[in-house]
Each structure stands twice: as structure tokens, then as C-alpha cells.
Amino acid sequence: MVIGFRCATFAVGFALAASLTVAGTATAGPDSGPVGGQPTWPVRPDENQFPPLPSETDIYPFIPVPMPADDRWYDDPADLDRYANGDVIRKRVVTSYLLGVPWPPVHTEQILYRSTNSHDEPITTATTVMIPGIPWLGPGSRPVISYQEAIDGLDPACNPSHTVRAGTMKETQLLLQFLGEGMAVSIPDFNGKTSTTLAPSEGRMVLDGVRATRRAGLGLADSAIGLWGYSGGGSASAWAAELHRSYAPELPIKGSAQGGVPGDKHAMTMFAMDAGAGIAGQADFVGWIWLIGLSREFPDQMPLDKYLTDDGMTIVHDMERRCLYTAAATGAWRPLKNYLKDPQAFLAPDIQAVLHQDSLGYADTPDIPIAMWHSTTDPIVPIAAIEPVVQRYCAAGTNLRFFRIPASEHISAELIGYEPSLLWLTAVLAGADPGPTTC
């Protein structure tokens, strides 16, 4: 059922984009010609032939839930500086939906809380906490799973605090199994309100989301914590595990299950330039999402107009308000290398410094048990992007179990590793030994 749900969701997303394009209803992005001073949409005979597509944010205004930009609940308080990291600013009870149908019996509250970005500046973001209407039958208090969805979007409307209410969260089926075991689930908007993707600050937002969940008066103040995430969500879980020691050592995190992690950004950069020919080119979108999101976290070091051609900036402006599905359809078969002013741009000292800061395993290593898995043939996040991190973790003595999944790709590897990782995380939250390491 999980496999069918996830695959069907991807199929629906791409089919929607394609059908709307064929119907001539594309509204997002620049015009396809130089009308009214708009740049010409780049059309290359050897690349993606889609014109500018409609985006998810074109559809959300028709759903009776306000867009985050129009929802004053998300507003920063005037006295943000007086709040500590993880402090609750405000909260609200909401109804969670899946395609217009309310979820099974579950109490859902959203919490706006303070966190910090990579520059130690105060920010606010939200987490959505779900408490099932069944008891936890294990030892101790009901545990909390901090569930990091693979948001992979460039607009606040892509964040789970919005999509859970709009009924479009793409990992709903995976969440239900944690709730079905009696655990509470906290789903943070770890890209923040500016949608910075794959930045170190996502780990801070995860940890502060856990703090806020424990401080919100939901009966979870004494709960043990587990982290789970895959792909972009795996990155956020990995950053939270790595930053736990220095940023939130008081949190009783018992383990982190994280798969498909794009951990080493030097390796990811080489891949992002050009995923390859044929079917492999579908993964070209990864470089665009990552580059745009990271430039928001490090605007001084990564000003995109310094490195990208005019055509490249046209694609950036089209993609900067998209969520995963239409961003993937837009960026697929468009190698980033074709849009650089200088083919060696990513060797610039400023960018190399950002890539180093944004790679796991350099500044610190996790002090909690880790279960990590990755496809050996992943065409979206190549295994070369995690193996250097595994080596650094093993050299530092990390409590790590790393599993390679052969004969798979990105989505199938997620689903193959899902049940074992859920069972492992449930066991360690119940007090079981995390098992032998693989280093």
C-alpha cells in the first residue's frame, strides 16, 4: 500500500503538470517570448522541451486554507529576540486532511517557535504535532517521532504545516504507521519560511521543533525522541543528529533513521552539474533546487546572477516558487553546467567554503545511534554523496549502522528501508539496544 500510494502520488504530480501544459494553461514563470520585456524561455533542442509549467502554488489558492504568505499566524513577533531557541511563540489546533478527507482519529496542533539560521540570526518556523487517539503500549511516556518530510520545495506553501491542512502532504501514508504504533509525530518546517534547502540550519530547526513540542503543554514533556527522514528529510535528520551534541544536548534523542542522504556537497556538486544522458537526466532538477535553496541561506557567497547566464536566471525565477513535482518537471534534462557563465564556477573559494560548511561529518559527528541506508544505484542522490560521510563518521567512532541497498533507485530504496528503519526506531525508543555497528 505504501508503494502504491507513493508511486501514485508521483504519477499524479507529473501527469498534472503535463496535462496542464498540453492544455495551454501554463501560468507560472516568464513568458515564452520577449513580450513586455520578459526574458525568452530557454528552449534547447537537446534538453527538456516543456515550456513554463503551472506550479503547485497556482493551485493552492483554490483550496480553502490560506497560503502561508496570507496567514498572519506565521508572522514573527515584534519581540522575537527575547525568545530562546525552541520557545513556543503561539500554537493552534487544526484539522489534518488527505485529499479532502480528514485523517483517522488524531489530535493535531501547530506550533510556531523560534530557531536560528546558519548565521546565528533568530528566525521562526512551525511544526505540526499529531497525537493519535490510541495509547502507547511500550515502556515510559508516549515517544515523539520528529518526522522530516522530503519537502524539496522552494515556496512556504510546500512546507508540511500548509500541506497537512491542504490535504496534499506527499508522505502521509508513511506517517500513519508511526501514529498506528501509538507514537506522537512532530513534522517540522525545517526549510523555514524562506525555503532554504539542504542547509545546515535545517538541523537546528528540527531540534528546536522537538524542544517546542516538549514545551507546548501537549503531555509530551518527558517523551523520548526519535528522528526519521529520507532524501531531503534524511538530510534534515542527519543534520539534527550531528548538531545534537553542540546545539541541543539536553534532548533525549534515542536514535536517528535516515536514508538517501545527500551528505557530501562536494560530491553532490559534481553530480548536480550534469546527472548524465538518457533517463539519468531526470535528476538534473536536484541541482537547481539545491542551488536556489542554498543561495537563500548564503546570499553573499552564492549570488546566482554572478554565476548563471541569463537563461539560467530565467529558470531560477521560474522555479523559485515551485514545490517538488513541478520543480522536478522543470529542472529535469536541464544540466546546470549548460547555464554557468564559467564551467569552473563551483571551484570559486566562496562556494567551496559553503560546500564544506554544508557537508556532513566535518564540524562534528553524531553522539546518538544512527541507522542509515542508501541505494547503490541511486540516480537522484548518488551513493558517492554519502560514502565520504560514512568514512568520516566511522573514523570518529560514530554509533552507526550503514546499509547499502542494491538493484534499486531512489524511491524503491526508500520503501525497502522504511519498515526496517521504523522497527529499529521503535525498538530503540522502547529501550532496546541499537545493535552492532557497521564501521
Please provide the DSSP assignment of 199-212 as one string.
Answer: -THHHHHHHHHHHH
Grid coordinates in use for 134?
A: 490510541
- Mention every residue, 6+ apart, whose C-beta is less than 8 A from residue 76: 124
Q: Coil, helix or strand for 19?
A: helix
For residue 15, tell me if it sits in a domain.
yes
How confident is the model over 264-298, as pLDDT tens digits?
Answer: 999 998 888 888 888 889 999 999 999 999 999 99
Angle at 8 between CA 166 and CA 93, to 5 degrees: 20
For residue 437, tell me if it sits in a domain.
no
CB-side neighbour CA atoms (13 Å) of 395: 9
Give me the domain span that covers residue 346.
2-21+50-60+265-355
In the chain, the number of structural domains is 1
Contact 161, 128 (CB under 8 A): yes
Q: How many Å is the maximal CA-CA distance in the chain?
A: 66
How confident is the model over 231-267, as pLDDT tens digits?
Answer: 999 999 999 999 999 999 999 999 999 999 999 999 9
R_g of the chain, CA atoms, integer Å: 21
For residue 394, tell me if it sits in a domain.
no
For residue 306, tell me if it sits in a domain.
yes
- Mention every residue, 6+ apart, whose C-beta is less than 8 A from residue 184: 129, 130, 131, 132, 142, 143, 144, 145, 213, 218, 220, 223
For residue 413, tell me if it sits in a domain.
no
Contact 366, 398 (CB under 8 A): yes
- Mention every residue, 6+ apart, whose C-beta is less than 8 A from residue 70: none
pLDDT at 98: 83
Grid coordinates in use for 196?
A: 532554504
For residue 292, tell me if it sits in a domain.
yes
Q: Is the pLDDT of residue 391 over 90?
A: yes
pTM of the model: 0.91
Instruction: Compute φ and ψ for 101, nearest 5 degrees.
Output: -105, 125
Burial (CB < 10 A; 0-12, 13-18, 19+), residue 304, is middle
pLDDT category of residue 38 using cuts at 50, 70 and 90? low
Q: Is the pLDDT of residue 147 over 70?
A: yes
Contact 321, 28 (CB under 8 A): yes
For residue 12, tell me if it sits in a domain.
yes
CATH number (domain holding residue 312): 1.10.260
For residue 308, tell me if it sits in a domain.
yes
